[in-house]
Amino acid sequence: MSSAPEIKTERLGLRGIERSDTEAVLRVFADPEMSRFFAADFSDRAQALEMVERRLAYAGPAGMGHWVVEFDGVVVGVAHLRPSEELPGGVPEIGYYLDRAYGGQGLATEAAAALVDHAFTVLGLPAVWALIHESNVASLNLVRRLGFLDVGSGVHYGDTHRVTVALPSAHGKPHHLELWVADITRAEASFGWLLGELGWQEYQRFSGGVSWKLGVTYLVLEQSPALTGVGYERTLPGLNHLALHVDTRARVDSLVAAAQLHGWQPMFVDRYPFAGGESHYAAYLENEDGFEIELVALDHR
C-alpha cells in the first residue's frame, strides 16, 4: 500500500502508484524522448519495469512516495517526493514526468506545484530539492516558475544536473502572538529562559513588554495598562496553551529537568512523556501565572 496520499488540483488527480498502474506507466515512457535526460532507456520494457518496481517498493517516510498523475481519468505521468538518493542527508527531492502528448498545457507545472505545496503545508518540510539535467531547459524553466533557486551543479544520476531548492514562504504562518501578563518581570523570567533554550532571540523591548523572535514569528509578553483582570485562567475561553517543537526527545527531557529552576512546574507527571498519547512524546509545563507550554519532540532520538 502506497504511503503517498491522494492530491487533487484544478485539473489533475495525484494518487499513490499501484501495481495495476504498471502498463499505464510503461505507455507513458514508451516514447524514447521521455528518457532523453535519463541514464536508462525506459522505452525498453525491461528497464521500465525495473523503474516501476523501484517506485512500488518505496518504504520511506509517510506522506512521501511516488504518485501517478491522472488527467481526465487517464494516467499521463508519474511524480515523486522522497528522500534523495543523490544529495547528502536524504533531503526531500521532487521529480515529475509527463507524457509528451499532454505537453504545452501546464500540467507538469500544476503537478509539481501540488507536490511542493503538499511538502510545505502538509508535511512541514524545511526545503524541497530538485535535480534537473543541465540540458533540460523546459524543466529548468518549470522549477524557476515555482520559485526554486539554482544553487549550483553536480554529477547526479550519471550526468551533470543543476541543483535547485525551494524554501517555504511566510504566507499563512503566524506573524506574532501576544500574551498579556499580570507581572512582566515574573513572566519574562520563565518565558525568557524557555524561549532562549529553544533558539528564540530577544526581538523588541518596550515599556511594560518584551518579545522574542524565531524565524518569521515573534511572541510578545506585555503587562498592559488596559488589563481588566489580575490573573490568567487557561480553563476559561481563550488561549489554553502554546505548543512548541523540540528537536529531540533527549532535549525535551533536559528541558523538563531544568525547568523548575526557571519558574516552570511539570504537569501530568504520572503520564510523562506520553500524556498526549503513546506516539506523542511531549512535556507539559506550567509557570507561576498559570500559562501552559507543551514541548513536542520532533523525532525519536
Report, at the CATH architecture level, how domain 176-297 is classified: Roll (3.10)
The per-residue pLDDT for 2 is 64
Residues in the chain where the model's pLDDT stays below 70: 1-2, 300-301
pLDDT for 301 equals: 64
- pLDDT at residue 73 in the model: 94
How much is the pLDDT for 223?
97
What are the tens digits of pLDDT across the range 147-161? 999 999 999 999 999
pLDDT of residue 139: 97
Q: All 3 cell numbers of residue 181?
A: 501578563
Res 219: pLDDT: 98
The class of domain 7-166 in CATH terms is alpha beta
For residue 99, what pLDDT is reported? 96
Per-domain residue ranges of the chain: 7-166, 176-297
**Which pLDDT does position 110 carry in this prediction?**
98
Q: Say whether 176-297 and 7-166 share the same fold.
A: no
> What is the pTM (predicted TM-score) of this model?
0.82
pLDDT single digits (tens) 210-238: 999 999 999 999 999 999 988 899 999 99
pLDDT at 299: 79
Residue 298 is predicted with a pLDDT of: 87
